[in-house]
Amino acid sequence: MKSEITYAELCRLVAEIGEYSYTADIENINLIEAGFESLKVMLISSELKRRGINVRVSELLKKPYLADWWKIIKMQSVSAESKKEMDRSRTETMEFPLTDVQHAYWVGRNPNQVMGGISCYLYFEFECGEIDWQRLSKAWENVQYLHSSLRTKFLESGTQVIQDKPYNSNIIIYDFQQLDETEKKEKMEAVRNEYSHKVLAVERGEVAVLILSVIGKNKTILHFGIDLLVADLKSIKIIFSDLERVYNDCSFEKLPTPFSLEEHMNHKEKEDSYRKAAAYWKEHFATLPEAPELPLKRVYQSVKKPVFKRKNFMLDKADWDRFAANAAKNQVTPAMILLTIYTQIIERYSNQSDFLMNIPLFNRPSGAEGEVADFTNILLLPVKSIEERGFIAKAKRIQETFLESLDYSAYSGVKVIRDILRSRPTQKLVAPIVFSCDCMEPIITDEFAGSFGKLKYISSQTPQVLIDFQVMRFPEGILLSWDTVEDVFPKGFIEDMFSAYIECLRWTISNPDKWEEELHVISETKFAERYSGINTIGVKQDLCLHELVFRNATDRSSKTAVIEGAGRTLTYYELCKEAKKLARLLQLEGVGPGDKVAVRLPRGAEQIISVLSILLLGACYVPIGMNQPDKRIEKIVKRAGIRYMVSHGGHLKLNRVNIIDVNDRVKQEAISANGPVNPSSSAYVIFTSGTTGEPKGVEISHFSAMNTICDVNKKCGISEKDSLLAVSSLEFDLSVYDIFGILGTGGTIVLLDEASKTDAAQWLDLVTRYHITCWNSVPFLLRMLLEQAQAEEMNLQSLKTVLLSGDWIGTDLPAKLADVAPNSELTALGGATEGSIWSNYYQVKLPVPKEWVSIPYGTPLDGQLYRVVDQRGRDCPDWVPGELWIGGIGVAKGYVGDETTTNNKFVSFKNIRWYKTGDMGRFWNDGIIEFLGRKDTQVKFRGYRIELGEIEAAINRAKGIKSSVACIVSEGGSQKLCAFIVKNDPDSELIQDETINQSISSYLPLYMVPSEYQYGKSIPLSANGKVDRKMVAELFFKERQVVAGYEKPQGAIEEELERLWIEVLGSTKYSRDISFFKAGGDSLKAIMLIDKIKKSHLVNGDLGTAILVNAPTIRELASQIQMINQGAELTIDTI
């Protein structure tokens, strides 16, 4: 087939669009290097297509020489006779459909849409001299008649129709000449506020507005606003140009054109290119990344009407020319360089290497060069991890991806977004980050500026967009603008991000010879303040944990050191004497410096005596809970190399472990003297859960732990006058502070026994009886205490210092604490066992800001540091989430007996040793650290660090189970540990909870045993094929009653109990045989329920929360209440 263009015509076309003088040299130059931008290539492609020659833009860009273009044209030419004639019989009164982009804008106007309720709208202000307003009004009327799109009305049916007359032929005039300067300023601000974010009545045909504000005789402001349903950027250039021409030459007329937008649309989806593009996106759909998740201060779903604010930077012509020349030299268009900088900024400020960008295309069909309409198409650009090193290499990869996507842009990005929403049900915005570049020609001409003045202000808004980056050419230079919904971003975030972009742009202009290097998005000096904390002075290096305790045996010998809940007391002298006697016994058994000695004892003074005796010998204690299963104890003993255990003897038999009965110390004399212990030696090893099912032992030195304890005591004013109720178990590192933080200052520690460790009523009794001043626990336990106090209508007047850590601190908890303990001060602490108890603190003040979702971590303790690290090990900017690293004095020695994991988790950076916590967090712009949760399968539950994989490994050992997923379910302010199970035989009977619990109890401690199980045929997976733990957790909210079937409560007591259950647990009904704990109850809700039962006068006698252990159902609880009321003796096992 013969092409519809000659070689000579092609040369002239290239010379005309490229603004070259036509010479023979044009045939031999690289057109990209000569500044032939992608938009100019699009114009070539459109003109060729008009002549019946279908050539892809990407083909022309890949071979930017005339000779190659001519070969492509000869190969791809099509006969002009095969091109179908478009039917031009449409009249201007017929309805016709919206384009994909128009439809997206139209739907976005709906206030029920996420980030909707606004129009896609562009607003300008020009400052000019005296204007003939009558001539301007007539010119505006004529322009609206010149362009039918400016007379378009949009119907409820989702169609559009062109009207005979414009909505408003006249301009709007405001005369402020008689006002003083202050009033003029106020009025001008009011006009801008009204029209810069206007939602025009497009359903009545109002699509644009022209306003003139007369400030003085020679000063006016021209305002122009237009809904982008009817215009793209090229259209606005045409409107401005035509307005100037008609204003200065009333005889100006637009030449008639055969182009029809409706016919163009109807023809578009019949083209072969559309079908090929649809197939391409269908093939690549599953691998498209999601939008970048930039930090937000509020969920954007809560924004009722987005308000955009603009950041501008004008790049002068000289800088732009240098920039464009270097881009051409590297065979990359300037737009692609600007886009590459943008993607690197987004990557750094979202901590995501893969994300989706929204790029409007301005590729007009042939014949529509002078038309006003919205010809915008949307291209979704997948930005994925780029392995190439160096800025220009990344830019070339971005350009390649862009060109590949551009080849298939006939299937619009709007359609791809619809496909995504259909296949991935989500409330997220799919493509809210926009890059729009049109820098070929100025948006206003010199003639327009001469008549109406220079640009004074510009803004835009787009529904369902968070950041809209626009690049426009003006006579003064290239304007780079970000229109953003600032209200959803944290304070200062957009400013920092935009400033970082401009700094990167300046670097590319100033360093054209360094484009092969990496682009440093953020200077390292920005993070210098975060590392300054290492210079703070920690604790003196000559102190060990036990030293101050033994010193108090001399200085405060008769002062009470320990009180057991049952009433037994020990003075400092007595405590240390018992510890020395046990130390002598251990010494005789062979315990010496550096030995790891297990402590397996019930709660009580013997635990503290044992710990002190072990440390006195220079050995290291390893706490092991009484409820730890034998198999796990064996693993701990093996991993830590334990040869000695202090216990009460009993049934436990361990190979090569000398079990020493703590009571045998009574036969010994106190050890006379012992050599000094090096503060750098190990003090304790605490075992936490491990990913492989193997427990991990964290080894901490005296020096590290003492640094934490001394700093906390200093900050909180802890002294010998303080007393503390020890609610944490010895194998939980809060106990380290309970013992040595209090006993080291000469205070008193009150101990619980095993029977009362979960009994909030007993805690309350001890707090009030012994006038406890200091409380240290996870938030859940404090909440239990406060609920109990409120239930008994008691105030805790003695409580002075409250330390909370180990889990999220709800924003309601500080106020609840203030109500119950009005004299207390709350300090939030955080960190990791590997950071020596705590590494940060925050002293909470009321009221807690409403926008907070939890109490923040605060700032590092003395001698300690934090990093927030992205996926590539770089420091994250303020507000950007990353992995928390703890550095400094508190960092553990490592994991005992596990060199591989130690080397993976403990690293060196800037000559500082760091622990990679696996926790997610971020720095606020004031230096405060916010904790955001775990990044892996490790969770904090009731203060214990639990590896969900270890639970799953234990469950999967049980007979009949194929696979499982463990998860934390949050409901009503409390948490439950649950597991979702897939059986080997889906049709077999359900496995009883007790059967599973019995099986896994050999491998897991009690706190790691799930309280609820659910079953399914397969594990729920996310879109990328990973286990969807969030979806698993949601399953536990649904149909709780189905577990045993619903049986209506019977009798007055059962019916009243059901009513009280509903008040405490929610829902609408409860079967009389469902367990309180399976229905969503926990220890905290048990306190609330028992309190309500007492106040309802259902029961005549005493009722404790322990009753729910043996009578967890409505039927059983009602029976127990009847027995109490009848005076029967009730025996209940103690928790």
Q: What is the pLDDT of residue 1071?
A: 81
Q: Which two three-digit tokens encode residue 328?
A: 């051409």
Answer yes or no: is pLDDT of 51 > 90: no
- Please tell me whether residue 466 adopts helix, strand or coil conformation: coil
Domain spanning 7-82: CATH 2.40.50: no
Return d(Cα 375, Cα 629) in angstroms, integer: 70
Answer yes or no: is pLDDT of 649 > 80: no
Contact 300, 485 (CB under 8 A): yes
Query: First vs last Cα of the chain: how many Å apart?
Result: 91
Question: Which CATH fold would you assign to the domain 1043-1125?
Answer: 1.10.1200
Q: State the chain's mean pLDDT as an integer.
A: 87
Q: What is the pLDDT of residue 717?
A: 97
Contact 647, 665 (CB under 8 A): no
Radius of gyration of the chain (CA): 37
| Region of residue 1092 (phi > 0: left; psi between -120 and 50: alpha; otherwise: beta) | alpha
Q: What is the pLDDT of residues 173-196, one digit of tens each?
A: 999 999 999 999 999 999 999 999
Amino acid (1-letter code) at residue 917: T
Contact 592, 584 (CB under 8 A): no
As a whole number, mean pLDDT of residues 1032-1057 equals: 70
* Residue 73: closest CA among 84, 81, 63, 83: 63
Q: What is the pLDDT of residue 470?
A: 96
| Residue partners of 673: CB distance under 8 A and separation at least 6 | none
Say how far residue 444 (Cα) sits from the centre of its chain: 41
Return d(Cα 198, Cα 180) in angstroms, integer: 27
| Residue ranges covered by each domain of the chain | 7-82, 96-262, 271-369+377-441+462-529, 547-922, 938-1038, 1043-1125
As a whole number, mean pLDDT of residues 853-859 equals: 89
Better-predicted residue by pLDDT, 80 or 329:
329
Q: In the Cβ-directed half-sphere of 42, how many Cα atoms lie within 13 Å?
A: 16
Q: What is the CATH number of domain 547-922?
A: 3.40.50.12780
Q: What is the pLDDT of residue 971?
A: 63
104-118, 618-632, 1120-1134: least confidently modelled range: 1120-1134
Domains 96-262 and 271-369+377-441+462-529 share a fold: yes
Confidence tier at 22 by pLDDT (50, 70, 90): low
Better-predicted residue by pLDDT, 1072 or 1069:
1072
Question: Which CATH fold would you assign to the domain 96-262?
Answer: Chloramphenicol Acetyltransferase (3.30.559)
Listed in order, strand segments (DSSP E) in 342-389 are 355-361, 377-383
Q: What is the pLDDT of residues 271-312, one digit of tens each?
A: 788 899 999 999 998 889 989 989 988 877 778 889 999 999
Q: What is the CATH number of domain 938-1038?
A: 3.30.300.30
Contacts 24+ apart (CB under 8 A), 263-268: 263/86, 263/87, 263/88, 263/90, 264/86, 264/365, 264/368, 265/96, 265/97, 265/99, 267/84, 267/86, 268/410
Q: What is the pLDDT of residue 91?
A: 42
Q: What are phi and psi of 112, to 5 degrees?
A: -80, -10
* Residue 832: closest CA among 771, 892, 780: 892
Confidence tier at 1130 by pLDDT (50, 70, 90): very low
Residue range 271-369+377-441+462-529 forms a domain whose CATH class is alpha beta
Q: What is the pLDDT of residue 79?
A: 35
